[in-house]
Amino acid sequence: MALTITDVKVITTAPEGINLVAVKVETSEPGLYGLGCATFTQRYLAVVTAIEKYLKPFLIGKDPQRIEDIWQTAMVSSYWRNGPVLNNAISGIDMALWDIKGKLANMPLYQLFGGKCRDAVPAYIHADAKSINHALELVEERKEAGWHNIRVQIGGYGGENPNIHKPVTSTSGVYYDPKSYMKTVLTTFEKLRVKFGDELGLCHDVHERLTPNQAMQFAKQMEQFDLLFLEDVLPPEQVQWFDHIRAHTVTPLAQGELFNNPNEWIELISKRYIDYLRLHISQVGGISPVRKIIGFCDTFGVRTAWHGPGDLTPIGHAVSAHLDISTPNFGIQEWSCSIKENTYEVFPGTPVVKDGYIYLNDKPGIGVEIDEKAAAKYPCHDKLPEWTLARLPDGSAARP
């Protein structure tokens, strides 16, 4: 009897207060199913609708082993493509099909990708500080916990400055001052290098809060601190400026968590404007396209550093680790501070971290399960995060 897809379920949950979307693809073989990540936190209900109303009817009755054909046809079935809602929806399906493939082969996912290139996955953790002194304390704590690579932020993205000069009447939003932000970060990293020397790999996320000219200046100034990388110095709309930035600094550059469309990363890679590609794997459509992107990066000497935030299910984190451990041009993996006790309760098999390395459990497929009863205890909330409403001192809207 031919193996077919019999049902597609969407499971939403927020064990740590962040909206997560998981997909379960069930098959005609009893007990054989796959799980995938389709999380688009800020528009999670749109993804749920896309899967339940459009992709589910499209998939029922199809052979789950025909992963590439399903990905290609699902991607163009709506005609318009390469947007975050549909890409995440297709990603959830794609990961679930790869999970099924691994279970059929009785192998962990990385074995299907050619096996291990390393024994564990090196990762970096966040140190999200309230002040410069707090940053020094947090980095010390991370170091004592065994972390060797740390991303340091002060006062959120763009920094907090209570002395921002605003108009008399101010529109609601999260305000930041680019000049104050740059000065604070430079002072912080100077103090970090004085205290810790070169023993730690340090990175920082600009989160697109600067103009192209400011980004060029900032990347040059940060050069003295020998960074692991400087992340997202520009928004996707301004990537044409990377040739200027690359010409003015040797600071390693990482880019890509907001990318949806291949045209956003092809030139950056082929012209070697960046050192690390940081795609959000579910945002670009899942495992199938990312495996091709890895090979493309390898051709041009660009390494991978996949986006690993709190708004990604542990299924997605595990997929990143499977790709990392089997990728020769892998660089480093982001690991979120939000992966805590509730997450391990809802998602048994979530990868574990020890001394800055991620370890997989070697179960067939992705290796992560979902406890649907536990997931139901932590419902999602349809409220936009405040940090997305960024504003400059004069009240004008800025990229978040």
Q: Which residues belong to the active site?
A: 157, 207
- 393's CB contacts (< 8 A; 6+ apart) are 164, 165, 166, 175, 177
Q: What is residue 252's three-state secondary structure?
A: coil
CA distances (Å), origin 277, targets 138, 178, 266, 315 = 27, 25, 11, 20
Measured CA to CA, the distance from residue 217 to residue 211 in angstroms comes to 10
* Short-list 385, 384, 333, CA closest to 356: 333
Contact 36, 287 (CB under 8 A): no
Contact 92, 37 (CB under 8 A): yes
Measured CA to CA, the distance from residue 256 to residue 254 in angstroms comes to 7
> In terms of DSSP H, where are the helices of 106-211?
109-112, 132-144, 178-196
Strands 352-354 and 357-359: antiparallel
Give one DSSP letter per residue of 121-135, joined into a string: EEEEEEEEESSHHHH
Dihedrals phi, psi of 26, to nearest 5 degrees = -100, 150
The structure tokens listed for 238 are 């301004």
One-letter amino acid of 360:
L
The structure tokens listed for 97 are 């099909």
Measured CA to CA, the distance from residue 64 to residue 29 in angstroms comes to 11
CA distances (Å), origin 271, targets 209, 215, 297 = 24, 19, 11
Q: What is residue 102's three-state secondary structure?
A: helix
Measured CA to CA, the distance from residue 20 to residue 228 in angstroms comes to 29
